Structure 1
Amino acid sequence: MGTDVTAQHFTGADRVRFRRQVSRGTEAIARMLSDGLFTDHGQPPEPLLGMEVELNLVDDEMNPAMANAEVLDAIADEDYQTELGQFNIEINVSPRPFTHDDTLSLEQGLRSSLNRAEQQAAQVSSHLVMVGMLPTLHTEHFAHQWISANPRYDLLNQQIFAARGEDIELDITGIPVADHHSSERLHLTTDSILPEAACTSLQLHLRVAPEDFAAHWNAAQAVAGVQVTLAGNSPFLAGTALWHESRIPVFEQATDTRPLELKNQGVRPRVWFGERWINTIFDLFEENTRYFPALLPVSTDVDPLAELDAGRIPTLDELRLHNGTVYRWNRPVYDVVDGQAHLRVENRVLPAGPTVVDTMANAAFYYGVVRGLVEADRPLWSQMSFNAAAENLHSGARAGLDSQLYWPDVGWVRPAELTLRRLLPLADDGLRAFGVSGRARNRYLSVIEGRCLTGQTGSVWQRRAVAAREDAGESRFDALRGMLRDYVALMHEGEPVHSWSD
């Protein structure tokens, strides 16, 4: 959800002060790295799995339910929080041990929690859907009135439009929903950032020692393109068939503070893959300071360098708030718990859903491959250009399992072949190194294998189901609503998406 702020008006002096505080926070990070002040310095932390799952709300007719305040009141669980759109909520899964059969226990706990939340939401005529992009969202749902009541969201909306100076434009050409269909194009303008709320994600956190951060971030960047091909679940927006993982271009365009002239000048976008491999986490915080003006310049009176001089660990409120408005697909996270600072990699490329076991499989594959890449004799990122990793992300998001990805020592390859031959064994080794049991490894990696062998992801299933309904004479609107009804039923049954029938 991000840091809460109150509604307010920002002056030029506020921005200058905030910039100074962020800069001093960045200096504090450098000192803490140099002085070994992070709690995990010199030793790998206990393996913990942490995740956030964003959820959509629908009514009995499968239309978006603008009811997150009522739903959260009904659920009455602090693990569930508000999100940007009134049709969104989020569940935060507290970090759990990532060893032995603990992942299986986490899966059972997540399933039970979601089942309870669904029962409570149904009492206010709403239902939870785990999907990367709600298929029944339409342009009228992007009106400013549907922004959640939390002042942070309206303030963020104001600041993005103030920086941009004009309405936001979405312009995405999709791929045909089936072989006998034509490609479609979504082209619209909006005066709110609510298209961002259409992008519902699974966000994975991995706590790492500071000296190991760069390797883990580089590994996460390298595998991002593979992640979106294997987990695509966001093919439709505003009645239009777009990419297999449309969250990627929609989020990039919906949160773009740059008018055309600044794009032409090469100004960096706020939704950013990055532009280079890194050597330390400091590289990322320094980029934030150098390239990105403040969106929410809320400052405290605390000098982070003075805190260090006094022997205290600074909370770095300004640096963390600023970092939360630079939307990297793999984001650095600085956090302080019980007076001790630590670092995390937050992986943000994955969509939500379709089922709990699919969610756990996506997480296990990511954690395993990243660990395997980090422990390889030769770093993958020393054999691969950064631009190739960025191209993989967009190619994989667009065409899914039909894409061609670049991989060192392999060249251009289909994602399923790359995964079956190289990445599943690597993920198994990585999970074993974490201490994950053979039973858990087999359960989750077999789901990834199943998608590769059947060629079916959530996006593939959605596209086939809509095409079949349209071929039977249904309109796009009816096909999307009927498909979503079937999707929700299968989601509750809980079998992995590669086993779903058309």
Structure 2
Amino acid sequence: MGLQIVRETFEPEEYERFSKRLAESLDVLREVLARPGFGVGPRTIGAELEMFLVDSAGFPLPINRQVLGQTMDPRVTVEIDRFNLECNLRPTPLAGRPFSAMRAEFESALAEVRRAAATQGARVAVTGILPTLREADLGTSALTAMPRYRALSTSIRRQRQDTPFRILIKGEDALTLEWDDVSLEGANTSLQYHLRVDPVDFARMYNAAQLATAPVLAVSSNSPFLLGRRLWDETRVALFRQAVDDRGEPEPGVPQHGRVTFGHGWVREGPLELFAEAVALHAPLLPVLSPESPRARMAEGGLPKLDELRLHQGTVWSWNRAIYDPSAGGHVRIELRALPAGPTVVDMLANGALLLGLTLGLSEQVESLLPGLPFMCARGNFLRAAKEGLDAVLLWPERHAPSPRPIPAVELVERLLPVAREGLVKAGVESEEADAMLSVVEARLRARTTGARWQRKMLARLEAQLPRLDALGALLERYMAHAASGRPVHEWPLD
């Protein structure tokens, strides 16, 4: 995000100066977005993939900095917990064969991480939540030993007035937990896609992404277990909201907004309103100032970095997030954050093709669709998709009353596949490329199988012979073996 965090605590006046810089940055961003030609250019896509390091028994191995030290690959970096790593793929043009290019990137990056991990006795697991994770693997000692992560944990605890985080998630089992730091966030690993869009197209593209996220999540779920409990198909969604919640004890009559959010309404104008919303609703956590004055930079005719605004936006975790990037002439993009890591590279590319294709395809009709779906229904869709996966029934806008109408997720995704294909092809993706990716989703629907469903069925089989924790360990070994084969999850046997 452009600024290095080297301290863990801050003084009240630092928060005040930072807030003033945020207000200045919003005014400057408004001027930047109004510049003729700003951000106009070919659409590109990129991705970030998070993963777990595990030992020979499948338990988390907290050695991410040691593994990072064994590679010079600039795509690889650490994440919040010591058993997490992340790969940042290089952006690629959307037109042509982008998923083939990204497949090569995924495979080369993962191969390098696996090589580096092996030098330290570690293996790499790519899944939304590690089935073998234990409470003992978490806690303050699990945080990656870098000031930014400790500062983040300290600042959120400060906002909460040192009250513990309370985790309550109900699925087939229930999890109730109190926790003292943000290390639970490292239990989640995700696949985040980035889509560059022209500023003039941002509002309709962003709203289309919000529409598309729930049905895509339902067919992509891969996180059914946490700390030995069977919870949501995408438990990450419930856990993330609670694991970094800075709200503390509620004050009567005072509305509070969580930093992990699906949003508060349809976007009407463009990216500026999302940045302004993040500044207005959420107090700063990391008040680190850049030496650059955004206003002075504008006066010189340059493009401001807006480091403080980007840093603040990075501490508000919208499931679809607006990004301002000052590099290479500057642009804006949408970060699509809801998808889980895994199960295989092919599955992750298919999920991305569906989400990107629907964002593009639905954007052409979004203005006629939004009146038929109040935003609270879109938010509800997201939560139902996360909880129930393929079994979710989602509300979808219709052109004629009554709208919205309930549609089973499988039926809805089947209906939307042609929309995704058209969105990709119109954007310049070769038709054979689009078909190859979307056919994986189509086969997954026919098999009624996602990563979450395969894991649930496998655990049920293994638990007939093994205690729960042993069964979860055996499940992970089978999961990793099948993932290494490269075959998409709908082809995995239950053996």
- TM-score, normalisation: structure 1: 0.94
Which contiguous aligned blocks of 4+ residues in structure 1 show a shift greater than 4 angstroms?
A: none
Aligned to 1:482: 474
| 1:109 aligns to 2:102 (yes or no) | no
Aligned to 1:419: 413
Query: 1:333, 1:379 → 2: CA distance?
Result: 26
Partner amino acid, structure 2, of 1:31? E
The correspondence for 1:284, drawn from 260, 269, 274, is 274
Aligned to 1:458: 451
- The structure-2 alpha-carbon separation of the partners of 1:120 and 1:326, relative to structure 1 and needing over 3 Å to count, comes to same
Aligned to 1:177: none
- Written as runs of structure 1 = structure 2, the 5 A alignment for 1:178-257 is 183-257=172-246
Q: Is the 8 A contact 2:391 2:408 kept in 1?
A: yes
| 1:33 aligns to 2:25 (yes or no) | no
Aligned to 1:71: 67
Query: 1:8, 1:192 → 2: CA distance?
Result: 14
Partner amino acid, structure 1, of 2:113? A
| 1:18 aligns to 2:18 (yes or no) | yes
Q: Is the 8 A contact 1:133 1:247 kept in 2?
A: yes
Aligned to 2:431: 438
Query: 2:250, 2:185 → 1: CA distance?
Result: 22
Partner amino acid, structure 2, of 1:465? M
- The structure-2 alpha-carbon separation of the partners of 1:312 and 1:325, relative to structure 1 and needing over 3 Å to count, comes to same
| 1:172 aligns to 2:169 (yes or no) | yes
- The structure-2 alpha-carbon separation of the partners of 1:330 and 1:3, relative to structure 1 and needing over 3 Å to count, comes to farther
- The structure-2 alpha-carbon separation of the partners of 1:464 and 1:264, relative to structure 1 and needing over 3 Å to count, comes to farther
Aligned to 1:369: 358
Partner amino acid, structure 1, of 2:276? E
The correspondence for 1:296, drawn from 286, 301, 318, is 286
The sequence identity of aligned pairs, in percent, is: 36
- SS at structure 2 position matched to 1:491: helix
C-alpha displacement at 1:434, in angstroms?
1.6
Farther off after superposition, 97-106 or 352-361: 97-106
C-alpha displacement at 1:135, in angstroms?
0.8
C-alpha displacement at 1:341, in angstroms?
1.8
Aligned residue-pair number: 487
Query: 1:133, 1:288 → 2: CA distance?
Result: 28
Please, which runs of 5 or more residues in structure 2 have no aligned partner? Answer: 399-403
1:436-455 Cα offsets, whole Å, 9 max, x none, are 11221121101111121111
Q: Is the 8 A contact 1:216 1:370 kept in 2?
A: yes
- SS at structure 1 position matched to 2:330: strand
Farther off after superposition, 3-12 or 443-452: 3-12
Partner amino acid, structure 1, of 2:471? A
- The structure-2 alpha-carbon separation of the partners of 1:323 and 1:263, relative to structure 1 and needing over 3 Å to count, comes to farther
The correspondence for 1:47, drawn from 35, 43, 46, is 43
Query: 2:201, 2:368 → 1: CA distance?
Result: 13
C-alpha displacement at 1:261, in angstroms?
1.4
Partner amino acid, structure 1, of 2:305? T
Q: Is the 8 A contact 2:87 2:109 kept in 1?
A: no
Farther off after superposition, 219-228 or 326-335: 219-228
Q: Is the 8 A contact 1:373 1:379 kept in 2?
A: no
Query: 1:115, 1:185 → 2: CA distance?
Result: 37
Q: Is the 8 A contact 2:204 2:366 kept in 1?
A: no
Q: Is the 8 A contact 2:395 2:405 kept in 1?
A: yes
1:145-195 Cα offsets, whole Å, 9 max, x none, are 110012100110110111112111111111xxxxxxxx2111111111011
Query: 1:377, 1:92 → 2: CA distance?
Result: 30
- Written as runs of structure 1 = structure 2, the 5 A alignment for 1:140-159 is 140-159=136-155
Please, which runs of 5 or more residues in structure 1 have no aligned partner? Answer: 175-182
- The structure-2 alpha-carbon separation of the partners of 1:3 and 1:455, relative to structure 1 and needing over 3 Å to count, comes to farther
Aligned to 1:492: 484
Query: 1:354, 1:408 → 2: CA distance?
Result: 31
Partner amino acid, structure 2, of 1:492? A
Q: Is the 8 A contact 2:198 2:331 kept in 1?
A: yes
Kindly report the root-mean-square deviation, in angstroms, between the aligned alpha carbons of the 2 structures: 1.5
Query: 1:337, 1:347 → 2: CA distance?
Result: 20
C-alpha displacement at 1:68, in angstroms?
0.6
- The structure-2 alpha-carbon separation of the partners of 1:35 and 1:263, relative to structure 1 and needing over 3 Å to count, comes to farther
- TM-score, normalisation: structure 2: 0.96
Q: Is the 8 A contact 2:3 2:307 kept in 1?
A: no
1:270-305 Cα offsets, whole Å, 9 max, x none, are 111111101221111111121110000111243212
